[in-house]
Amino acid sequence: MSIVLDRPLTWQQAAAVANGEHLTLSDAAWQRLAQARAIVDAIVEKGILAYGVNTGVGGLANVIVDRPKQQQLSRNIVMSHAVGVGSPLAGAETRAIIAAAINNYAHGHSGVRPAVVGQMLALLAHDCIPEVPSLGSVGYLSHMAHIALVLIGEGFAVHDGQRLTGAEALARIGREPLVLEAKEGLSLVNGSPCVTGLSALVLARAHGLLGWADVAAAMSFENLRSQPVAFDAVSLALRVSDGMQETGSRLRALLEGSAILAAAAGRQTQDPLSLRAVPHVHGAVRDALAGIGLAVDRELASVTDNPAVMGTPQAPQVYSEAHAVAPHIALAMDTAGIAIAELAAMAERRIDRLVNPHVSGLPAFLAADSGVASGFMIAQYTAASLAALNRRLASPASLDGGITSGLQEDHLTHATPAALKALQILDNAEHILAIELIANAQAYDLQQGGHARAPGTEAFYRDIRSALPPYRDDRPLAGDIEVARGILRRGTA
């Protein structure tokens, strides 16, 4: 099934393309591309002063570039902006960026030729993934430049597991290197497609993780014999939050029919906040993600190229602006990082309660033979370490600032770094929740009294136990953590 780009993509569609969905353009989108290119050609023909078309870029914005050198300007922009360092982005991340870039051009205000978009669509269709170093951006530019290299037969790409030069990769999929025309070099590195594409993936992964966080929290709540009155619908309705109501509904469904909780009813007045406040924290994360989703959809619906072209070939208009700066999505990704870090921090607290014999009522550290075996003692260390790392990563990138390009770019929002660290926080959060899931499976095995689990939690317990046997210090626990992470990444709970 293909996604046909006519109107702007949604973040869900961008994430689907990132994960392998086929992308095509409607006839209307192709017409918008052609119309915008005709406007750029008219700007070139008429000699209208336009940033990056017939001028240099950044601190060289006032240097006029004669028409014979405008092709060279486009190529030089790509070459000089390909300055990324570090390990490459994952294939899905690069696909997300390409999808968001195509979406941006399809608004019809960038002026790249349809042939450029056709080349990008071919990369997606053949899963020919440009090698894009992950580091080196203060907001945009460098990541897209490495994608642009492959379009012109330079740089490197991965196809069918092989690392190829750009020229080899294009030949493999039956394409020729492009020769860039005026403005195309700037449009290929400009705008906010990098952060926007990555943000779509952040949202997709965060929603999946949140579902599993509900499951893990419900299992911990049951294993620690907590008081379900904290999740009562009437009580939760006193606080206005769609996310909290949804979380409460999910928790009640997961725990309905639990004989463990029925046997523990009235055991204590109230439970610690890492258990009692799950609807509040998970609900706040849900509400935050809903707002972030709107911000990413607005970014996908926006023109983020500088300059933007409008008018007609007969009366071309060009606007130099700052739409590529993307503070809205930078702030959204900083918020996403904080929200995911809090979700994971609460999970770490529940893990500590599961392994701590002073509060759990379970064998110390969930060990099968306490003393001889350490059980989950050090797995909780790992969770604590990752929660602390998340707190450091959650510091907002959008406040970093900085000055580049000879004072021409003297305020920076660090939008792409904000999205990249949100993805790192997600990686860490997945590991923390994986530990909570397998610790809960172990805790169920060690429960006394023979009381039945809730049907909702029973299904997930069996899912874990179908992949992993009980832990008896008989293998490296790191392997179990990775297996559990694989379970939670395979789909939404």
**Geometric angle at alpha carbon 239, from 237 and 243, rounded to 5°:** 85
461 is catalytic: no
Q: Tell me which of 51, 444, 461, 471 is the catalytic residue.
A: 51
Listed residue (146, 244, 199, 158) closest to 12, CA to CA = 199
CA 254 to chain centre: 27
Listed residue (201, 214, 140) closest to 333, CA to CA = 201
Q: How far apart are CA 423 and CA 297, in angstroms?
A: 18
Work out whether the CA dihedral 155, 144, 1, 31 comes out positive or negative: negative
- Tell me whether residue 482 is exposed, middle or buried, using C-beta atoms within 10 angstroms of its C-beta: 0 to 12, 13 to 18, 19 or more: exposed
Q: How far apart are CA 211 and CA 336, in angstroms?
A: 16
Listed residue (317, 292, 318) closest to 307, CA to CA = 318
Structure tokens at 172: 């493999």
Using DSSP, how many helices (H) and how many strands (E) does the chain show? 20, 9
Structure tokens at 65: 């570039």
CA 370 to chain centre: 41
* Helix 477-489 / helix 455-467 crossing angle, nearest 10 deg: 120
Catalytic residue positions, numbered: 51
